[in-house]
Copies of this chain bind each other. A is one copy, B any other.
Amino acid sequence: MYNNAQILELFEQSLRQLRTPEEPELLYAPIIYSMSGGGKRLRPVLLLLSTEAFGGSVDEAMTAAMAVEVFHNFTLLHDDIMDNADMRRGKPSVFAKWGENVAILSGDAMLITAYKLLTELNPTKLQRVMRIFNDMALEVCEGQQYDMDFESQKKVMVVEYIQMIERKTSALLSGSAMIGATIAGASDADIKLLYRFATELGLAFQLQDDLLDSYGDEALGKKIGGDILEGKQTYLMVQAMSRATEEEREVLRTTHLNSKLSDTEKIATVKALYDKLEVKRATEQQIDQRFERALGILDSLSIGAERTVHLAEFARNLIGRKK
């Protein structure tokens, strides 16, 4: 069995073979630009590791792995328009580089390209895998819509926030794991467990991302407080809102809009409340719980611990744990 680094290398090799027509250039060049922009390739790696864990063939699953990565990059392309985001992975976003119309249409072509890759699966497995893929894809759209809805929502409940990131972040990971296992012919019971494993892991991953935005290590080059300055709903913010007094809520709601404060002051104001309301500890606890739960679910798969070692490695890498 391949480990995570080997699977990633195999995937990158295959991805380099991805071809699009040359013309019309404004339709296809952004696809190549977007796919060659790097990224951690989490979803295809998880898909291929899941195939391997159940004794399936990485070769057979490769086009499906490419499909989930193309799909992921498609979502980024359209999200960047909706979020007005100029930069992506340290380079201009497609939206910033080519404009909105190109980003819309190239994104559409990417979504179709994802399905084109998926179509090349073994026909006896195609329908089952397509069903998982379709449901996953719609959930990601739902998650993005809920996330946008939150911007105009006065108060977001913790449970609503979790439901949103289950769709926006976890669905693509759990879908990838399920597709990988389905291609390997895993049992329905194991596929269901793998879904739960990836869902919990995805939640832990997103909460960690939220945490690092406020409490990351600036020494590691991480810019702190971006979410706070944008007034974004994060796990820390919705937890803080659920614990705050009415007065504190007003501060949490309005600080990012307060033109009398510098960015540093805005961040300090919100973080002072986070500290007081102990949301850092609450978030860390959630991450730990979800991570442990994910690893526990791996142990309950029917295939034995020696076959899940690389999925466990994937989980640890994702959350940045040594054990």
**Residue among A119, A142, A145 facing the most chain B CB atoms (10 A cut-off):** A145
**A138 & B116 in contact (Cβ 8 Å cutoff):** yes
Partner of A82, one of B105, B127, B138: B105
Q: Report B-chain residues with C-beta under 8 Å of the C-beta of A134.
A: 112, 115-116, 119
Q: Report B-chain residues with C-beta under 8 Å of the C-beta of A146.
A: 24
Minimal beta-carbon separation of A137 from chain B (angstroms) = 5
**B26 & A149 in contact (Cβ 8 Å cutoff):** yes
**A 110-126 to B, binary, CB cutoff 8 A, 1 in contact else 0:** 01110110010001101
Partner of A26, one of B23, B27, B145: B145
**A113 & B126 in contact (Cβ 8 Å cutoff):** no
Partner of A105, one of B23, B78, B115: B78
**A127 & B123 in contact (Cβ 8 Å cutoff):** yes
**B112 & A24 in contact (Cβ 8 Å cutoff):** no
**A109 & B141 in contact (Cβ 8 Å cutoff):** yes
Q: How far is the CA of A100 from the CA of B149 in the complex (A)?
A: 14
**A104 & B78 in contact (Cβ 8 Å cutoff):** yes
Q: Report B-chain residues with C-beta under 8 Å of the C-beta of A24.
A: 142, 145-146, 149
Q: In the assembly, how many copies of this chain are there?
A: 2
Partner of A104, one of B21, B82, B112, B142: B82
**A 94-105 to B, binary, CB cutoff 8 A, 1 in contact else 0:** 000000110011
Minimal beta-carbon separation of A278 from chain B (angstroms) = 31
**Which residues, 56 to 85 on A, are CB-close (under 8 Å) to B?**
78, 81-82
User: Which residue on chain B has the smallest CB distance to residue A24?
Assistant: B145
A144 contacts partner chain B, Cβ-Cβ < 8 Å: yes
Minimal beta-carbon separation of A215 from chain B (angstroms) = 30
A273 contacts partner chain B, Cβ-Cβ < 8 Å: no
**B112 & A141 in contact (Cβ 8 Å cutoff):** yes
Q: How far is the CA of A60 from the CA of B43 in the complex (A)?
A: 35
**Contact status of A112 and B109, CB under 8 A, knowing A81-B104, A82-B101:** no
Q: Report B-chain residues with C-beta under 8 Å of the C-beta of A297.
A: none
**Residue among A21, A104, A131, A144 facing the most chain B CB atoms (10 A cut-off):** A104
**Which residues, 141 to 159 on A, are CB-close (under 8 Å) to B?**
141-142, 144-146, 148-149
Q: How far is the CA of A123 from the CA of B123 in the complex (A)?
A: 8
Q: Report B-chain residues with C-beta under 8 Å of the C-beta of A21.
A: 142
A108 contacts partner chain B, Cβ-Cβ < 8 Å: yes
**A137 & B112 in contact (Cβ 8 Å cutoff):** yes
| 7 other A-B residue contacts (CB within 8 Å) besides A24-B146, A112-B137, A126-B126 | A21-B142, A24-B142, A82-B104, A104-B104, A112-B141, A115-B134, A126-B130
A-B contact list, 19 entries, CB within 8 Å: A23-B142, A24-B146, A27-B141, A27-B142, A81-B100, A82-B101, A82-B104, A105-B141, A105-B145, A107-B108, A108-B108, A108-B111, A108-B141, A109-B141, A112-B141, A115-B130, A116-B138, A119-B130, A123-B124
